[in-house]
Amino acid sequence: MDIDFKDYQLRCELRGHEDDVRGICVCGDGNIATSSRDRTVRLWTPSASDKRKYEAAKVLLGHKSFVGPLAWISPSGELPEGGIVSGGMDTLVMVWDLRTGEARTLKGHQMQVTGITLDGDDIVSASVDCTLIRWRNGQPTEHWEAHKAPVQAVIRFPSGELVTGSSDKTLKLWRGKTCTQTFVGHTDTVRGLAVMPDLGILSASHDGSIRLWAVSGECLMEMVDHTSIVYSVDSHASGLIVSGSEDGFAKIWKDGVCVQSIEHPGCVWDAKFLEDGEIVTACSDGAIRIWTNQQDRMADSAELELFDSGLSSYKRSRKRVGGLKLEELPGLEALQVPGTTDGQTKVIREGDNGVAYAWISSELKWDKIGEVVDGPEDSMKHPVLDGVQYDYVFDVDIGDGEPIRKLPYNRSDNPYDTADKWLLKENLPLSYRQQIVEFILANSGQSDFNLDSSFRDPYTGSSAYVPGAPSQLAAKQARPTFRHIPKKGMLVFDVAQFDGILKKINEFNNALLSNQEKKNLSLTDIEIARLGAIVKILKDTSHYHSSKFADADIDLMLKLLESWPCEMMFPVIDIFRMVILHPDGAAGLLRHLEGKEDVLMESIKRVTGNPSVPANFLTSIRAVTNLFRNSAYYNWLQKHRSEILDAFSSCSSSPNKNLQLSYSTLLLKVQFYPSQLCCAID
């Protein structure tokens, strides 16, 4: 039916997720379910006290990695309050009972689950492993290859057919396990699907477009206004369409025309209509937002002002001048420092702009050149990492308590070469190589990638191994170059994701505050602030020669090592690992250990005595390895050498590649520096 369009405004924000919100499910009982990179599914119910708001009702914990697609199961005898089906990066499909909060786990996929839909009482799941699985009563009844590339989405059409979207740029219509129609037109991965009532199928693509298809395969309409990947699309009985994109906008469409663009402080991963026509969006800033065109439901002026302020701050943080982040540019005080050579240039932050200055040696002054600008919308076309633009910057979750890593990639690059360089940079095992290559190809939509015959493996001099590919002609033997053997210098673990570490400590501290039995172990606001100050010092590596830690900083670190529950120790140990590498931090720690040095050893025994927390092993073994950096610790290392080796002995048989690498590094230290340890005793 036709309507007079009214602009949507913010109704409310739902906060509780601790990372990107990836998926939305509109439940039939008026509730909303959301999924997140924080590994949780959350249920939200309308507030009884404020008709504009929603309240957190349940947190469903069980996935081992980030959660994506969701589907709603109506109440039944087995599920009296209904259920939620979720799919995750961990390859699992989980069916949640909303009355008990318990889940049944369905195992069958080999890679990330990307789509979930219901077909009667059956569940159908899609995966990056290119397959669909039909589940009935918790068991797989059908399992088939749907595309030759990762399947990114699956929906059920009202007439009973399934529709899939894939990285091979096509949609397919399925009757049972038989493909009856292939839809060709998109020029990149098909990421999201939705039913357009009485018309056909909507698709969202990495090519930046949304298309409306007839069931016959004919493209009825193409909608273009986004400037980046379109992740999701949904429709409403009113005829409106909503889409969410990497460009930070949710766009509303009517009759193929964009009638409103709603800007967000981050990527819009998902967007869905509620039954009454209101819109729910999921954003990378961890917030769910509900948008309304009903005047009496709109947020009040204070809430709107707060949202606008946050949006402005986000945009300022993203603004770049000459490829550099505006907020990272120095202020005018930097012009007080004389230049070193004639013509040297500096870019200075002045308000919301970057201004270039050149040093004039003859006049001993900085001369203003002019404002530095980027090309129009440059920053929206390509993601930027460390000041360099790429076609893609992927988030890689390697699990095992490790932080999310950033993997940059250009479509013109050889994915094997990219994987090799990235694994070396991130200090990760080369055994991950093929898995990383497959991840790159799946997420860049390069299903038709052909290996360049001129490529040579940097370790063997031969062509790269591609499983299932015909044998390559042997390359001319090149003398191998070894990057790690022989070892000529000190190995240390000196990279840390400080923001993630502080976030995890805050999360654990909030858990302690809510536990009456352990509340006394929680940190005060002052102690939380002190941890932030410690991290600020550690981040500023250019001033390690002059920056200092207060005695209270070291006391706080030791207090946490001694008192915090074992399962919460790993982020604390991670900060401790970095303090050891700071000259004043290492010296201050050593002073505080005099007379009670067993605090350190007892902490090691405590965390290694609980094998159920692998992240404790990983962070503590890296911390001990970093102690070898400072000769002042040789006495302590020699004294506890046997105890340390015994504490970590189980790591040799661990299936965790990162742990094996860290353990090998520790053994190398013990083997490589025995003379230094002995000299310290003599």
Alpha-carbon span 96 to 103, nearest angstrom: 4
Nearest to 38, CA basis, from 7, 15, 57: 15
Nearest to 275, CA basis, from 27, 9, 21: 27
Write down the pLDDT at residue 470. Answer: 40
Angle, to 10 degrees, between the axis of helix 433-444 and the axis of helix 415-425?
A: 120
Mean pLDDT confidence for 570-581: 89
Write down the pLDDT at residue 209. Answer: 94
Mean pLDDT confidence for 474-493: 49
**Percentage of residues in the chain with pLDDT exceeding 70?**
83
| Cβ-contact 392, 408 below 8 angstroms | yes
Write down the pLDDT at residue 469. Answer: 39
Write down the pLDDT at residue 678. Answer: 46
Mean pLDDT confidence for 37-52: 92
Q: Which two tokens stand for residue 452?
A: 């360049």
Helix H, strand E, coil C: the string for 586-631 is: HHHHHHHHCCCCHHHHHHHHHHHCCCCCHHHHHHHHHHHHHHCCCH
Write down the pLDDT at residue 657. Answer: 64
pLDDT band at 13 (very low <50, low <70, confident <90, very high): very high
β 40-46/32-36 pair status: antiparallel
Q: Which two tokens stand for residue 120?
A: 């009667």
Decide which of 400 and 417 is more confident.
Answer: 417
- pLDDT value at 242 more than 60: yes
- What pTM, to 2 d.p., does this model score? 0.56
Environment class of 133 (CB within 10 Å of its CB; exposed 0-12, middle 13-18, buried 19+):
buried
**Percentage of residues in the chain with pLDDT exceeding 90?**
41
Write down the pLDDT at residue 382. Answer: 63
- pLDDT value at 27 more than 90: yes
Nearest to 139, CA basis, from 116, 156, 122: 122
| Cβ-contact 114, 126 below 8 angstroms | yes
Domains of the chain in sequence order? 9-307 (2.130.10.10), 336-373 (no CATH), 375-483 (3.10.20.870), 498-681 (1.25.10)
| Cβ-contact 119, 106 below 8 angstroms | no
| Cβ-contact 92, 63 below 8 angstroms | yes
pLDDT band at 456 (very low <50, low <70, confident <90, very high): very low
| Cβ-contact 229, 246 below 8 angstroms | yes
Contacts with 269 (C-beta within 8 Å, 6 or more apart), sequence order? 20, 21, 22, 23, 231, 232, 244, 282, 283, 284
Write down the pLDDT at residue 319. Answer: 64
pLDDT band at 386 (very low <50, low <70, confident <90, very high): low
Q: What is the mean pLDDT of the chain?
A: 83
Decide which of 437 and 14 is more confident.
Answer: 14
Decide which of 433 and 73 is more confident.
Answer: 73
Q: Which two tokens stand for residue 407?
A: 């993997």
- pLDDT value at 674 more than 70: no
Mean pLDDT confidence for 108-133: 95
pLDDT band at 75 (very low <50, low <70, confident <90, very high): very high
- Largest Cα–Cα distance of the chain, in whole Å? 90
- pLDDT value at 449 more than 70: no
Alpha-carbon span 260 to 283, nearest angstrom: 18
Alpha helices in 408-517 (DSSP H): 415-425, 433-444, 498-513
Write down the pLDDT at residue 4. Answer: 66
pLDDT digits (tens, 9 = 90+) for 525-550: 888 888 988 998 998 877 787 788 88
Decide which of 36 and 633 is more confident.
Answer: 36
pLDDT digits (tens, 9 = 90+) for 301-332: 999 999 998 888 887 776 665 556 666 778 88
Task: Give the position of tokens 């070396």.
Answer: 424
Mean pLDDT confidence for 463-475: 38
Decide which of 509 and 487 is more confident.
Answer: 509
Displacement of CA 4 from its chain's centroid (Å): 40
Helix H, strand E, coil C: the string for 506-522 is: HHHHHHHHCCCCCHHHC
